[in-house]
Chain A
Amino acid sequence: MPLPFTNDIRTLRFLAGEMTQGDLGDRVGVTRQTIAAIEQGKYSPSLEVAFRIARVFDKPLEAVFQWGDGSN
């Protein structure tokens, strides 16, 4: 089932000097595969990991993750 929210992690990685999924994973404390799954909308991260990702890019949470279509 698709997640009800999207994310801009791929774009933010590119803008952060083409940071790799592995680099981001190392800084967040998860594996490269987990970052890939989050990016593709296949895995819903915990609030802690979501905040850690946002902190890496120095962005607020809603700049990284966006609720999909306004529904519940």
Chain B
Amino acid sequence: MTFREKTHWVALVVMAVAFGWYFFQLHTALPHGPGNIAASGGLLTAVTIGIILAMSLIIGIIAAVNPRDAHAAADERERSIHWRGTHYAYYPMVLGIWLCIGLIFAGYSTPTLLNTLLAVVVFAEMVRIGVQLYLYRRDA
């Protein structure tokens, strides 16, 4: 397994845990109504910092174990996998943006729009990473 594939697994797990926790808290613990936007912002900041710290720590450990792999430039197959993953993630991203445009015209609140947009970005990112991992595994 290449260093890049390992970092993709780390990103997938960390994002699933972090945003799974965020959206769970959103529906169970955060206040509803106008105060929700500030609470969402605070929680989102904490989740973002947590993701950065967790990924930096885990990927740093993986890189320290095998520094040669970590410093190797991506080859053409890895670049191709990266491009295809991004390509497939584009479609849910566009659909999600149109969904948010629809919500704006339907008069939904700012917190709802914020969290829908966030869900779209997270889902598209999971699609990107998932497709890339599938392509890494398929060729292995």
A interface residues, Cβ below 8 angstroms from B = 29-31, 33-34, 36-37, 42-43, 45-46, 49
Contacts and interface: CB of A to CB of B under 8 A. Distances in A.
Given A34-B77, A37-B139, 14 more contacts: A29-B75, A30-B76, A31-B2, A31-B72, A31-B77, A31-B78, A33-B140, A34-B76, A37-B77, A37-B140, A45-B76, A45-B77, A46-B76, A49-B76
Contacts of B139: 33, 37, 42-43
Contacts of B71: none
Chain B contact patch, size range: 10 to 19
Contacts of B77: 30-31, 33-34, 37, 43, 45
Contacts of A29: 75
A33 B2 contact: yes
A15 to B, nearest CB: 24
Interface string B80-98: 0000000000000000000
A66 B28 CA distance: 61
B27 interface: no
Contacts of B75: 29-31, 34
A46 B139 CA distance: 15
A54 to B, nearest CB: 16
A30 B79 CA distance: 11
A33 B72 CA distance: 13
A51 to B, nearest CB: 13
Nearest to B75: A30
Contacts of A30: 75-77
Interface string B22-51: 000000000000000000000000000000
Contacts of A33: 1-2, 77, 139-140
